[in-house]
Structure 1
Amino acid sequence: MVAPSKEQAVDAIKRIGGVNIMNVMYSFVKKLGTVALVYALGYMEFSIAWLIGPIVLSVIRDEWKKEKELRRTIAKASALCQEKEVILARVDELPSWVFFPDVERVEWVNKILRHVWPNVNHYAKDILKNTIEPSIRESLVAYRLSGFHFEKMVLGSIPMRIGGVKVYDQNVPRDQIIMDMDVSYAGDCDISFSIGGIKGGIKDLQIQGNVRTVMRPLITTVPLIGGLQVFFLRHPTIDFNLVGVADVLDMPGLSDLLRRIVVEAVGNIMVLPNKIAITLSDAVPALSLKMPDPEGVVRIHVVEAKNLMKKDMRMLGMGKSDPYCIVSIGGKTFRTQTIDNTLNPKWDFWCEAKITSQKAQMLSFELWDWDPGFPGIENDDFLGRATVELSQVTKKGKVGMWLTLEGAKRGMVHVRMTWLTLSKDKNDLAAALQETQMLRVTSMSTAVLVVFVDSIKNLPKARTTSLPDPYVTLTVGNTTEQTASQFRTVHPVWEQGFTFLVSNPENDTLYIKAIDSKTTQELGVFVYNVSTLLQKMDMEVEKQPFALSKSGPESTIYLAMHLRILKYEEKDTNEEDEEEPTEGGDTETDTATAPLLDKRSPTQLSEGSESSVEASPAKEPAVKTELDRTESMKSATEEIIIPAAASPGVQASPDLRQRSPSATSSAGEYNLGRIQLTLRYSQQRQRLIVVVHRVVNLPLKDPNSIPDPYVKLYLLPERSKDSKRKTDTLKDNCNPVYDETFEYLISQADMRNRQLEVSVVTRKGFLQQSPTMGQVVLDLKNMDLNEAKTMWLDLCPETSREA
Structure 2
Amino acid sequence: MASDNKMTTTSKFALPVNRDEDPGVLSIIYRFFKKVAIVGAVYLVGYMQWSVAWLLGPVVLSVMRDQWRKDSEYRRNLAKSAALSSEKDIVLARLDDLPAWVFFPDVERAEWLNRILLQVWPNVNHYARTLLKESIEPAVAESLANYKLNGFKFERMILGTIAPRVGGVKVYDKNLSRDEIIMDVDIFYAGDCDISFILQRIRGGIKDLQIHGMMRVVMKPLISKIPLVGGLQLFFLNNPSIDFNLVGAVDILDMPGFSDLLRRCIVEQVAKMMVLPNKLPIKLSDEIPTVDLRMPEPEGVLRIHLVQAQNLMRKDVSMLGKGKSDPYAIITVGAQQWKTKHIDNNINPRWEFWCEALISSRKGQVMQCEVWDWDPGMGIQNDDYLGRCILDISQVVRAGRLDTWQTLQQAKTGKVHLRLSWHGLSTNLLDLSHAITETQLVKNAELSSAVVSVYIDSCKHLPNARPGSRPDPYLTVTVCKKTENTAVQMRTDSPVYEIGYSFLVQNPEIDVMEIKVMDQKTGSQLGQLTFGISSLLKQNNLTMVNQPMNLQKSGPESKIILGLQLKILKEAIKEEDVEEETPTVPNETEPLLPSAPAESTDGPATAPLVPLTPPGTVSANASVTTTNSDLQNLEDSGFNPTNPSHVSTTFPSTTTDDTSNKSVPVEEIIKEVDVPQESQMPYERESPKLVHRTSSLTTSAGEAGLGRILLSLRYSMQNQILYVVVHKIMNIPLKDPTNVPDPYVKLYLLPGRSKDSKRKTQVIKDSCMPEFDEQFEWAIPLAELHSRQVEVTVATHKGFLGGSPVIGQVLVHLNQYDFREAKTLWFDLLPESSPRE
The residue that corresponds to 1:509 in the other structure is 512
Distance in structure 1 (CA, Å) of the matches to 2:64 and 2:699: 60
Q: Residue deviations 1:108-144, cap 9 Å, x none?
A: 1112222221111101111111121122122112112
The residue that corresponds to 1:780 in the other structure is 814
CA drift at 1:71: 2.1
Whether the 8 Å CA contact 1:400–1:416 is kept in 2: the answer is yes
Whether the 8 Å CA contact 2:463–2:526 is kept in 1: the answer is yes
1:246 aligns with 2:308: no
CA drift at 1:60: 2.5
The residue that corresponds to 1:481 in the other structure is 484
Q: Residue deviations 1:561-612, cap 9 Å, x none?
A: 111111124228xxx6xx665121235357834889xxxxx9899699979x
Select 2:725's aligned residue among 673, 680, 691: 691
The residue that corresponds to 2:121 in the other structure is 117
Whether the 8 Å CA contact 1:586–1:682 is kept in 2: the answer is no
The residue that corresponds to 2:53 in the other structure is 49
- Report which stretch shifted further, 338-347 or 78-87: 338-347
CA drift at 1:705: 4.5
TM-score by length of 1: 0.87
Distance 1:663 1:547, change over 3 A: same
The residue that corresponds to 2:272 in the other structure is 268
The residue that corresponds to 2:745 in the other structure is 711
| Mapping for residues 339-418 of structure 1, pairs under 5 Å | 339-372=343-376, 374-376=377-379, 378-418=381-421
The residue that corresponds to 2:681 in the other structure is 619
Equivalent AA in structure 2 for residue 398 of structure 1: R
Q: Residue deviations 1:692-737, cap 9 Å, x none?
A: 3333454444555544433222333443344333333444454444
Whether the 8 Å CA contact 2:706–2:731 is kept in 1: the answer is yes
Equivalent AA in structure 2 for residue 588 of structure 1: P
Distance in structure 1 (CA, Å) of the matches to 2:113 and 2:380: 40
Q: Residue deviations 1:640-678, cap 9 Å, x none?
A: xxxxxxxxxxxxxxxxxxxxx631666555554443333
The residue that corresponds to 1:493 in the other structure is 496
Whether the 8 Å CA contact 1:360–1:584 is kept in 2: the answer is no
Whether the 8 Å CA contact 2:593–2:712 is kept in 1: the answer is no
Aligned residue for 2:757, secondary structure, equals: coil
The residue that corresponds to 2:794 in the other structure is 760
Equivalent AA in structure 2 for residue 162 of structure 1: V
Equivalent AA in structure 1 for residue 216 of structure 2: R
The residue that corresponds to 1:463 in the other structure is 466
Whether the 8 Å CA contact 1:689–1:741 is kept in 2: the answer is yes
Distance in structure 1 (CA, Å) of the matches to 2:30 and 2:464: 62
Equivalent AA in structure 1 for residue 711 of structure 2: L
Whether the 8 Å CA contact 1:581–1:587 is kept in 2: the answer is no
Q: Residue deviations 1:456-501, cap 9 Å, x none?
A: 1111112364222111011111111111111111111111111111
Select 1:160's aligned residue among 164, 167, 176: 164
1:798 aligns with 2:832: yes
Distance in structure 2 (CA, Å) of the matches to 1:226 and 1:282: 8
CA drift at 1:223: 0.9
The residue that corresponds to 2:582 in the other structure is 584
TM-score by length of 2: 0.83
Whether the 8 Å CA contact 2:799–2:805 is kept in 1: the answer is no
Aligned residue for 1:122, secondary structure, equals: helix
Distance in structure 2 (CA, Å) of the matches to 1:456 and 1:603: 66
| Mapping for residues 294-693 of structure 1, pairs under 5 Å | 294-372=298-376, 374-376=377-379, 378-463=381-466, 465-571=468-574, 582-588=580-586, 592-593=590-591, 617-619=679-681, 622-625=684-687, 628-631=688-691, 633-634=692-693, 662-663=696-697, 667-668=701-702, 670-693=704-727
Distance in structure 1 (CA, Å) of the matches to 2:482 and 2:396: 26
Distance in structure 2 (CA, Å) of the matches to 1:401 and 1:321: 23
Whether the 8 Å CA contact 2:294–2:499 is kept in 1: the answer is yes
CA drift at 1:317: 1.9
1:133 aligns with 2:193: no
- Report which stretch shifted further, 21-30 or 229-238: 21-30
CA drift at 1:333: 1.8
Distance in structure 1 (CA, Å) of the matches to 2:667 and 2:270: 49
Equivalent AA in structure 1 for residue 715 of structure 2: Y
Equivalent AA in structure 2 for residue 352 of structure 1: E
CA drift at 1:214: 1.1
- Report which stretch shifted further, 172-181 or 504-513: 172-181
Q: Residue deviations 1:492-541, cap 9 Å, x none?
A: 11111111111111121101001111221111100011111111111111
The residue that corresponds to 1:16 in the other structure is none
The residue that corresponds to 1:68 in the other structure is 72
Task: Calculate the aligned-residue CA RMSD, in Å.
Answer: 3.0
- Report which stretch shifted further, 438-447 or 496-505: 438-447
Aligned residue for 1:378, secondary structure, equals: helix
Equivalent AA in structure 2 for residue 780 of structure 1: L
Whether the 8 Å CA contact 2:708–2:829 is kept in 1: the answer is yes
Distance in structure 1 (CA, Å) of the matches to 2:672 and 2:410: 35
Distance in structure 2 (CA, Å) of the matches to 1:469 and 1:425: 41
- Report which stretch shifted further, 615-624 or 742-751: 615-624
Whether the 8 Å CA contact 2:404–2:589 is kept in 1: the answer is no
The residue that corresponds to 2:627 in the other structure is none
Distance in structure 2 (CA, Å) of the matches to 1:231 and 1:716: 40
CA drift at 1:160: 0.9
CA drift at 1:38: 3.1
Distance 1:519 1:238, change over 3 A: same
Distance in structure 2 (CA, Å) of the matches to 1:766 and 1:214: 68
Distance in structure 1 (CA, Å) of the matches to 2:720 and 2:59: 43
Equivalent AA in structure 2 for residue 559 of structure 1: L
Distance 1:403 1:147, change over 3 A: same
Equivalent AA in structure 2 for residue 630 of structure 1: L
The residue that corresponds to 1:197 in the other structure is 201
CA drift at 1:426: 1.4
Structure 2 unaligned runs (5+)? 1-22, 595-665
Whether the 8 Å CA contact 2:401–2:572 is kept in 1: the answer is no
Distance 1:175 1:587, change over 3 A: farther
